[in-house]
Chain A
């Protein structure tokens, strides 16, 4: 949360998570290594202005956790009615057109975390692992597809009415669990007249919203509680991605500084030794900055000028070529490249 050069710059920036690496084809048929990044949605926690704070920036949070944060931060999260964010950073100011408001989990369903489907003695417990997972009780005809399309995500917020009008006297109900790309993960058929019970005791009728659905409403002004998605980077050709590299522990000179190893045989006792560290009585000390064994990794590093291959604003995914620092699932800071466009 410190004021860095990046926050003072005007570069577009956002927080995200490294999902992992894979391969993809370019149009000319060549393989490229790609990293899949989940970029946003970041919740605006605080808007800093030159008048009040001496500089302009937006403090955003990413990555939800159920744990409580330190008290001062916790109050910040409470103010914008959001869960504790694991990764909080400042980004340069953004235009209001790139920001939207979405119903926060706490506004929509509160504590809907575990679902129990009670009818027919069919008890199913399902944890909602991702905020993007859409759990929706849908009334439908037995033959008709009980799945709501992606358009339903554009339904009005508030969560009591599903987008698609459903016949009130539909003979049976189904619960569709969709993943972020809209394909159905699992479908539960419910007996007629059944209800879905939520873990906290509340009863949900057919058609009720059970979990977080991303509904994007445009806003006129960037204010706390707003969301910024990967759409911010529309038109960006190259990005810099910084993260905390994997920790390697205490390492020798060969791994840490790419020293050359000594001979393995002929009586050599110099296999992975660092060698001489300096001169003789003059200067009689080791010069500062001498490269030696020590701790390697777990440091902030930046991968620069990664080409943006694809942006998926629906799923908040960004595909970049090459690798980015850190383990899969690690938090990353993504910003527009300075050097190349």
Chain B
């Protein structure tokens, strides 16, 4: 890429971009919404089924899937979007794939991703938990 364009893109990158979640995690995404002249924060909670691109890339996104009244809803969030306030991890998930597209074919209880625990991390291929996540699991 042209170095000047890279410099320009760097300026648009968020310094406090959301992070700390992995594929399969159940997250709450806090999105800033502007209605007329009012501004409020909406929460979209679901499972992270896709993380696209590196986070230092301006165009990187993550996809969150949830079931709303029996219908699957997926929302794509750009990491660097100014409208994303924060992302909270509700429940860590154990995933052996980088993209959890198979969840789209599942209904009901089968859509649940197994919870990621430290012991399972050793036997499975799930990455070891960071300190923060370990706390989240125990609490």
A36 to B3 CA separation, bound complex (whole angstroms): 12
A22 B9 Cβ-Cβ under 8 A: yes
**With an 8 A cutoff between CB atoms, is B12 at the interface?**
yes
**With an 8 A cutoff between CB atoms, is B69 at the interface?**
no
**Minimal Cβ-Cβ distance residue in A for B13:** A25
Number of interface residues of B (CB under 8 A): 18
**With an 8 A cutoff between CB atoms, is A292 at the interface?**
no
Known: A28-B34, A36-B8. A19 touches B80 (CB 8 A): no
Residues 36-77 (chain B) with a chain A CB within 8 angstroms: 58-59
Interface string of B70-111 (1 = CB under 8 A from A): 000000001011111000000000000000000000000000
Residues of A within 8 A of B135 (CB): none
B81 A317 Cβ-Cβ under 8 A: no
Interface string of B1-41 (1 = CB under 8 A from A): 01111011100100000000000000000001010000000
B5 A24 Cβ-Cβ under 8 A: no
A19 B5 Cβ-Cβ under 8 A: yes
Residues 144-201 (chain A) with a chain B CB within 8 angstroms: 179-181
Known: A29-B32, A29-B83. A24 touches B4 (CB 8 A): no
A317 to B32 CA separation, bound complex (whole angstroms): 30
A20 B5 Cβ-Cβ under 8 A: yes
The one of B2, B8, B34, B83 that contacts A319, using a Cβ cutoff of 8 Å = B8
**With an 8 A cutoff between CB atoms, is A141 at the interface?**
no
Residues of B within 8 A of A20 (CB): 2, 4-5
**With an 8 A cutoff between CB atoms, is A328 at the interface?**
yes
A31 to B2 CA separation, bound complex (whole angstroms): 20
Residues of A within 8 A of B32 (CB): 29
Residues of B within 8 A of A25 (CB): 12, 78, 80-82
A22 B8 Cβ-Cβ under 8 A: yes
B8 A317 Cβ-Cβ under 8 A: yes
B82 A36 Cβ-Cβ under 8 A: no
What is the predominant secondary structure among interface residues of chain B facing chain A? mixed
Residues of B within 8 A of A270 (CB): none
A127 to B130 CA separation, bound complex (whole angstroms): 46
The one of B2, B34, B58, B59 that contacts A328, using a Cβ cutoff of 8 Å = B2
Number of interface residues of A (CB under 8 A): 19
A23 B81 Cβ-Cβ under 8 A: no
**Counting chain B CB atoms within 10 Å of each CB, which of A25, A179, A315, A319 scores highest?**
A25
Q: Nearest Cβ distance between residue B40 and chain A, in whole angstroms? A: 13
**Minimal Cβ-Cβ distance residue in B for A28:** B34
**With an 8 A cutoff between CB atoms, is A27 at the interface?**
yes
Residues of A within 8 A of B4 (CB): 19-20, 36, 38, 180, 315, 317
A183 to B110 CA separation, bound complex (whole angstroms): 51
Q: Nearest Cβ distance between residue A168 and chain B, in whole angstroms? A: 35
A41 to B82 CA separation, bound complex (whole angstroms): 32
A22 to B59 CA separation, bound complex (whole angstroms): 10
**Minimal Cβ-Cβ distance residue in A for B34:** A28
Q: Nearest Cβ distance between residue B11 and chain A, in whole angstroms? A: 8
Residues of A within 8 A of B80 (CB): 25
B34 A24 Cβ-Cβ under 8 A: no
A181 B12 Cβ-Cβ under 8 A: no
Residues of B within 8 A of A31 (CB): 78
A260 to B82 CA separation, bound complex (whole angstroms): 43
A29 to B84 CA separation, bound complex (whole angstroms): 8
A23 to B4 CA separation, bound complex (whole angstroms): 13
B7 A181 Cβ-Cβ under 8 A: yes
**Minimal Cβ-Cβ distance residue in B for A34:** B8
Known: A36-B8, A317-B8, A319-B8. A29 touches B81 (CB 8 A): yes
Shortest 9 CB-CB contacts between residues of A and residues of B? A29-B83, A29-B81, A24-B12, A181-B7, A29-B82, A19-B4, A20-B5, A20-B2, A22-B5
| Chain B residues with a Cβ under 8 A of chain A | 2-5, 7-9, 12, 32, 34, 58-59, 78, 80-84
| Chain A residues with a Cβ under 8 A of chain B | 19-20, 22-25, 27-29, 31, 36, 38, 179-181, 315, 317, 319, 328
- Please, could you name 5 A-B residue pairs with CB atoms under 8 Å apart, sorted by A? A22-B8, A28-B34, A29-B32, A180-B4, A328-B2
